[in-house]
């Protein structure tokens, strides 16, 4: 156990170098853009969300630089331009996993929106100046129909500024879990699976898409490795989750004092806390990813043990196939599945050992 911890520390030392500050600086622009895109949803009727696609290559660039720090593989000067080339020319970005994560995130947000809707009156009553306007909103709502919201819209346009403080609290509360879940779990899990794919099959990006790589890993590694990896991740990252919660809560409290007399600024005002939460989570997640990648790098023996013998055969054959494209990653990492011994009594066909020859095989 102590040896494993020492391995973790040696790997982490690579990430916590002066290059880390450059990476964190590069993370700022895409983080602000993502937060701005979400803040603009109410002005664009949600259309601004599609702009996320054009920001993702910047995050990809930061991720590639982080991976280089941990492994020494790749381009140490990977730039935004390289990220855009990878996305739009080489199709290595893996947009599908991000889109699925966002869909789940909005589904969770909708769930909390409905589940906590009954708490709105209690929130409003903490702001006495907003109570009459809240009651006026309910009256206007009762006079409106599904297809005719004219009276309600007119009332909110005239009096919405008086509801900004409770609206800010409500929006901040229902956004807390979705932001954390999408960034710390959904997106991280996709990135980790893609990273693991590169360990098991080096240069897999040169041969299949990122989504295919993640899918292959989910079917390759046994479920026994999942709880082990999860336990290690919680052990190393729980402090960042706590920091996120405390800072987010402090920001929510501070934002509850913000007011505005401009009705056009109301939507962006009550989106301040979620937008800040996105930036906060993205920065904390940089360090969470360092730990996640370190866990994968330093537990290769556990990963290998979790792969079935037939699947090892497939991986070995795939990596040594003539059609498989090899690059720098293959040269540095080599074959993840050890080369079978020539003393192995099982049948050898060409460069590949048939590990399915009998049912009594031991794992290599």
SS3 content of the chain, % helix, strand, coil (to 5): 75, 0, 25
How many Å apart are CA 105 and CA 114, to the nearest integer?
14
pLDDT tens for 134-172 read 888 888 878 776 556 777 778 888 888 898 999 999 999
Vertex 58, ends 53 and 61: CA angle to 5°? 130
Smallest CA-to-CA distance from 171 within 278, 263, 264 is with: 278
Cβ–Cβ < 8 Å for 36, 292: no
What is the reported pLDDT for 103? 87
DSSP states along 169-220 = HHHHHHHHHHHHIIIIIIIHHHHHHHHHHHHHSTTGGGTS-HHHHHHHHHHH
Cβ–Cβ < 8 Å for 199, 296: yes
Low-confidence residues of the chain: pLDDT under 70: 1-2, 90-97, 145-148, 222, 340-364
What is the reported pLDDT for 92? 63
Give the pTM.
0.87
What is the reported pLDDT for 64? 94
pLDDT tens for 306-320 read 888 888 888 898 899
What is the reported pLDDT for 344? 45
What is the reported pLDDT for 356? 37
Question: Within the chain, how many helices (H) and strands (E) appear?
Answer: 18, 2
What is the reported pLDDT for 50? 87
**Token output for 329:** 């990653």
What is the reported pLDDT for 363? 34
What is the reported pLDDT for 270? 87
């Amino acid at each position: 156990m102590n040896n494993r911890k020492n391995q973790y520390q040696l790997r982490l030392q690579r990430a916590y170098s002066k290059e880390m500050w450059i990476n964190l600086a590069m993370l700022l622009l895409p983080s602000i853009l993502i937060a701005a895109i979400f803040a603009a949803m109410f002005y664009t009727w949600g259309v601004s969300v599609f702009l996320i696609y054009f920001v993702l290559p910047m995050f990809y660039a930061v991720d590639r630089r982080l991976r280089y720090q941990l492994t020494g593989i790749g381009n140490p000067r990977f730039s935004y331009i390289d990220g855009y080339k990878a996305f739009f020319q080489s199709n290595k970005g893996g947009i599908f996993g991000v889109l699925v994560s966002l869909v789940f995130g909005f589904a969770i947000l909708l769930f909390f929106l409905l589940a906590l809707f009954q708490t709105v009156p209690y929130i409003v009553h903490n702001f006495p100046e907003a109570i009459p306007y809240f009651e006026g909103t309910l009256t206007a709502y009762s006079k409106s129909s599904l297809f005719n919201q004219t009276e309600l819209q007119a009332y909110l346009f005239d009096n919405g500024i008086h509801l900004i403080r409770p609206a800010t609290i409500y929006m901040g509360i229902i956004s807390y879990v979705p932001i954390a879940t999408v960034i710390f779990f959904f997106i991280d899990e996709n990135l980790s699976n893609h990273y693991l794919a590169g360990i098991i099959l080096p240069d897999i990006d040169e041969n299949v898409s990122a989504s295919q790589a993640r899918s292959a890993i989910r079917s390759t590694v046994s479920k026994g490795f999942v709880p082990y990896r999860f336990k290690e991740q919680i052990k190393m990252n729980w402090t960042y989750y706590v920091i996120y919660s405390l800072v987010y809560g402090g920001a929510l409290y501070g934002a509850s004092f913000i007011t505005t007399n401009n009705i056009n600024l109301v939507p962006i005002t009550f989106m301040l806390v979620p937008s800040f939460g996105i930036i906060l989570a993205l920065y904390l997640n940089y360090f969470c990813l360092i730990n996640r990648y370190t866990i994968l790098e330093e537990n290769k023996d556990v990963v290998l043990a979790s792969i079935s013998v037939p699947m090892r055969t497939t991986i070995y054959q795939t990596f040594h196939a003539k059609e498989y494209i090899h690059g720098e990653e293959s040269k540095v990492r080599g074959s993840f599945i050890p080369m079978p011994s020539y003393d192995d009594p099982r049948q050898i066909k060409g460069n590949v050992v048939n590990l399915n020859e009998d049912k009594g095989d031991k794992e290599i």
